[in-house]
Amino acid sequence: MPFLTRYSDDQSTPGIGEALRDAALRAVAPAVLLWAAIVGIGELIRGPLGGLNSENAVSRDVQKTRTPTWDDITAVWSHIGNTEIVIGVCVVAVAILWWRTRQWWVAVTPALAIALQATVFVIATGVVGRQRPTVPHLDPAPPTSSYPSGHVGASTALHVTFALLAQRIERSWLRRVLTTLFLLVPVLVAYARLYRGMHHVTDILVGAVNGLACATLAWGYLRRRTS
C-alpha cells in the first residue's frame, strides 16, 4: 500500500484501543529514539565540536541583510511558528477534518504530529541548553534554548502533515497548489528564525528533521491492512 494513500486505500474504522496501541508502538516508541538522536547531536555540537562558533559568522552575515521591510515580513513568517498559532490552527484543522471525513483516526494526525514534535523538542532543548546566536535578536527569546528550533519543528510537523492530507484531494491542480503552499510555510519560518537571529543554522536543520520525522510517524501511526 502506498504510504501517501494509506488512509484512502484502507478506510476501515479502528477501535480506540487498537489505535492507542498502534500509536504507542509505531509513533511514540520511535519518537524516543528520535529524541535520543537529537540530544546526541546537540551534545556533540556543545562538546567535541566546541559549540560550532563558526555558525555565528553565518548569523552575522544574515544580519547584514536586514532592512525595515524584511524585518516586518519576517516577523509575520516567524509568528506562524509560534506555539499558540500552531496549536490554534491544529485544533481548527482537526475539527474540520473530523466533521468533513467522519474519520477521527485520520483527523487526529496533525495533533499527533505536533504533540510528538513538541515533546521531543521540549525535553531535548532542556537537556542540551545551547545559547542563541551572538547577534541582536528581533524576537523575544523564549525560555527554551536555541537547539533545536521549536518554531521550525512545529511548523514543519503541522504543515507536512497538511501536505500529506492534501494528497486525498481529487482535483489535481488544487492538490498541487495546496501541497506547494503547505511545504513552503516551514521554509519561510526557518528563514525568518535565522534572519531574526533566534537560531543557528544547525538548530534550524535539526528542528526541521524533528518536524519531518514526527509528521511521518504521525501519518504512519495506525496499522493498515497491508502496511
CA dihedral sign, ordered 131, 135, 138, 140: positive
Per-position pLDDT tens, the chain of length 227: 588 889 988 889 999 999 999 999 999 999 999 999 999 999 999 989 888 888 999 999 999 999 999 999 999 999 999 999 999 999 999 999 999 999 999 999 999 999 999 999 999 999 998 999 999 999 988 777 899 999 999 999 999 999 999 999 989 999 999 999 999 999 999 999 999 999 999 999 999 999 999 999 999 999 998 65
Maximal C-alpha separation, the chain: 55
pLDDT reported for residue 166: 95
pLDDT reported for residue 86: 96
Written as one string, the DSSP assignment of the chain is --STTHHHH--PPPPHHHHHHHHIIIIIHHHHHHHHHHHHHHHHHHTTTTT-TTHHHHHHHHHTT--HHHHHHHHHHHHHTSHHHHHHHHHHHHHHHHHHH--HHHHTHHHHHHHHHHHHHHHHHHHH-PPPPSS--SSPPPSS-SSS-HHHHHHHHHHHHHHHHHTT-S-HHHHHHHHHHHHHHHHHHHHHHHHTTS--HHHHHHHHHHHHHHHHHHHT-SPPTT-
pLDDT reported for residue 73: 97
